[in-house]
Amino acid sequence: MSLNPEQMLAVLNALPDPVFVLTETGRYAGVYGHADPNYYHSGHDLVGAYLADVLSADVAEWVMQHMQLAWDKGGLVKVEYPLSAAQVKGLESQAGPDGVIWFEGHIQPFPRRVEGERAVIWVARSITRRKLLEKELLEASQTDPLTRVANRRPLFDLLQSRFSEFQRYHHPTSLILFDLDHFKQVNDRFGHLMGDQVLTTLCDICQQTLRDNDLLARFGGEEFIVVLPNTVMEQALHLAERMREVVFRELSACFPQYERAITISLGVSEFLISDPQFESLLQRADTALYQAKHAGRNRVKACLQ
Ligand SMILES: Nc1nc2c(ncn2[C@@H]2O[C@H](COP(=O)(O)OP(=O)(O)OP(=O)(O)O)[C@@H](O)[C@H]2O)c(=O)[nH]1
């Protein structure tokens, strides 16, 4: 015995995810499912409305394009997209989650005409939790767990892309490699935990002197790198000197139990036409840092070639 039309409608409305029947003129011919306001706003009032009436022109156009893709393909099209209730006229007042919801849309051509028009079934499943988790995992894979600055992965990605830009357009990039002076003594006297606090505070202080486009990354141990896009050597030297001064002034003040100044030495380099690969920039900065250490520490040196 099969279900009667009333029971079929009850099944459709019991579906956990929203199901839209959309026609080729952009009309919501039917809206079913998604009763739980923990996940979705009710779209049942949209029936009879047109995409262009309730969505902004660009979003409505985007929906129509994906309906067309399903018809062209003659089968299922999958797409992921963010949408908030505030973007859909009539949904703002419905109970539901705040902010942006990420959806996975499954768009399937409907095998029959609906009031003379072609139509699709558009199932919109919330994947917001998965998207948040993906974001957290991506951030964790790119971040140093102690200092919360970038790790080597985004550092090397940025250096590679800046090197390509430099080779093509000669857009400059400079680099500062810096290292705490006599840091072993801090660890030896006050223990590794305080050493960790020094590293974290150092990064906080440095971040405050950098621009949004500059990248501070932990290179390893107590060595850090700042990548400075669109910056020539002269400007990079100026910034390195400011970092040295700020660290000299502020870092020791945060650790009064250590009677000596906690300082950094810095090596600066910039891309050169003769560089065969981005690693050349790191090598020159390393040479300059070595010179800064050798010359007495708490100073900035540049390696020009
Ligand atoms: N607390 C802490 N210490 C670290 C970490 N990574 C590296 N170190 C310490 O950094 C110190 C580096 O010592 P050295 O390479 O001798 O350098 P330094 O004492 O700073 O001397 P110079 O660089 O020559 O001025 C070692 O004591 C390492 O144990 C970390 O994540 N936490």
Please give the helix or strand (H or E) that residue 159 lies within, else none.
helix 152-169
221 lines ligand 1 (CB under 6 A): yes
Asked if residues 25 and 50 have their Cβ atoms less than 8 Å apart, the reply is yes
Q: What is the ipTM of this complex?
A: 0.97
Give 195 Cα–ligand 1 centroid separation in angstroms. 8
The CATH label, of 3.30.70.270, 2.40.30.10, 3.40.190.10, 3.40.10.10, for the domain at 142-302 is 3.30.70.270
267 lines ligand 1 (CB under 6 A): no
Domain residue extents for the chain: 5-135, 142-302
Q: What does each C-alpha distance from 243 to 8, 53, 222, 266, 288 come to in angstroms? A: 69, 55, 16, 9, 16
Q: Distance (Å, rounded) from C-alpha 200 to C-alpha 194?
A: 10
169-184 tens-digit pLDDT = 999 999 999 999 999 9
Q: Distance (Å, rounded) from C-alpha 25 to C-alpha 64?
A: 9
Q: How far is CA 206 from the centre of its chain?
A: 21
Percent of the chain past pLDDT 70, that is, above it, reads: 100
Cβ neighbors of 261 (< 8 A, separation 6 or more) are 248, 252, 298
Nearest alpha-carbon partner for 174 in 186, 158, 192, 197: 158
Whose CA is closest to atom 29 on ligand 1? 184
- Mean pLDDT computed over every residue of the chain: 95
By most ligand atoms within 8 Å of CB, the mutation choice from 147, 194, 222 for ligand 1 is 222
Using only the alpha carbons of the chain, give its radius of gyration: 29
Note the pTM of the prediction, 2 decimals: 0.80
At residue 186, the pLDDT reads: 93
Give 24 Cα–ligand 1 centroid separation in angstroms. 66
Q: What does each C-alpha distance from 48 to 39, 58, 160 come to in angstroms? A: 24, 20, 53
Q: How large is the average pLDDT for residues 236-256?
A: 95
18 lines ligand 1 (CB under 6 A): no
Asked whether this chain's domains 5-135 and 142-302 adopt the same fold, the reply is no
Residue 82: is its pLDDT beyond 90?
yes
Give 150 Cα–ligand 1 centroid separation in angstroms. 19
Give 184 Cα–ligand 1 centroid separation in angstroms. 5
83-99 tens-digit pLDDT = 999 999 988 888 988 99
By most ligand atoms within 8 Å of CB, the mutation choice from 183, 200, 265 for ligand 1 is 183
Whose CA is closest to atom 4 on ligand 1? 221
CATH annotation of 5-135: 3.30.450.20
219 lines ligand 1 (CB under 6 A): no
